Amino acid sequence: MEVYAAYYGAITILFIILTKYRYRITLCSETARKTALQRSQRQMALFMAAATIGLVFIIGFRSDHQGSDLYNSLGTGYFFYYESINKDSLGEILRNFSSQKYANFEIGFVLFCKLLGTVCGNHQILLLGCAALSIVPVGCFIAGCSRHRWLSMVLFMALPCFATVEFSALRQGCAMGIAALSYGFAKRKKPIRFIAGILLASTFHSSAIVALVVYPAYHATVSRRSALFGGIGGLAAIYLTKETLFWILAKIVHNNPKLSRTDSVNMFLILTVIYILCVYFSKDSDYGTRGYTNILWIACAAQAFSGLHNLAGRITWYFMLVLVVLVPDLLENPNIKERHIARPLTWMVGALAVMLGLYYLRNNQMACAYPYVPFWRA
């Protein structure tokens, strides 16, 4: 765990060094305050660049045996199809795509592999390219939307899906990265760019199409009272009738899925508790926080079905991404700051996120992220 712990330590020290003066800004003159604010913005940009690039290097320069989907028991996997794609010309790829020569890979990911193959056919290029596409857009989303960048970065690594999508489920990792960048367009009310981004994400993993609901959810006007009582009541009703609702949805899409029952109630309860806290401490006037809270409600609803089918859990991941900006927003809420507990609470949440991140990296069997092995020692 030394590499992961070293990364956490490095970004924490860097953040403290770059932000040590920020709490004195209020004591300065107006001119000095503006200068300090501009400096702060440059320093935060530097922090995000260093934190994002560092994480890309760790994920991208790992051994090509870390990730269960890279190889599999049938002798196929991402590397097998990466080599197959790069043996074919672009014309052959387009002709063979409908025959599922490249398994169930979507066209966007296939073309992305071909683009990487023109640089180098080495497996490491695929890992580095996917790491960049899955992490850099999330870094941009955090830089543009988060009120506490360090906390957002450690929360991103603490998400239960992080190790899976970065080490193994590469297509969905890329799709989630593009979707995260599109969420910024939703916040800035740029619907065309948002839709284009989600459609692009769906060409890497078709499940990303569900993220189209983020735009209307973010801008939906829901009172605090309705979100609290109606939201909780709705989640309870969904959870209690989830199997009936699941089969109704399956019939609508003309599908006959096989149930894969798992114990998902813990994550459902955790997300629901976070949702309740966000609604309780937010105000109707806090448009951004309420918008992200609406999206979190969708994550809770989707998670309710994850015990019936693993696809529901994967759908949850797209909406769970908003936690990386929602939790810092919550901690910056005036209702919390007025009690003078915001700063210690922020570091407590950050410490918990670091421990969760290390736990998931160590114990995620699909990711095979522990122990970390760089490619030159493989």
- pLDDT tens readout for residues 337-373: 666 777 888 899 999 999 999 999 999 888 888 899 9
Q: Does residue 210 or residue 330 have the better pLDDT?
A: 210
Phi, then psi, of 316 in degrees rounded to 5:
-55, -35
pLDDT of residue 23: 47
Quick one: pLDDT at residue 265? Answer: 80
Q: What is the pLDDT of residue 143?
A: 93
Q: What would the pLDDT profile of 84-105 be if each residue is shown by its tens digit? A: 888 888 888 888 777 677 777 8
What is the percentage of the chain residues whose pLDDT exceeds 70? Answer: 87
Which residue carries 């937010």 as its tokens? 282
Provide the pLDDT for residue 231.
92
Residue with more model confidence, 166 or 29: 166
**Over residues 269-291, mean pLDDT:** 85
The pLDDT of residue 25 is 46
Instruction: Out of 36-40, 142-146, 176-180, 188-192, pick the least confident.
Output: 36-40
pLDDT of residue 259: 59
Q: What is the mean pLDDT of residues 194-215?
A: 95
Q: Which two tokens stand for residue 343?
A: 């700063």
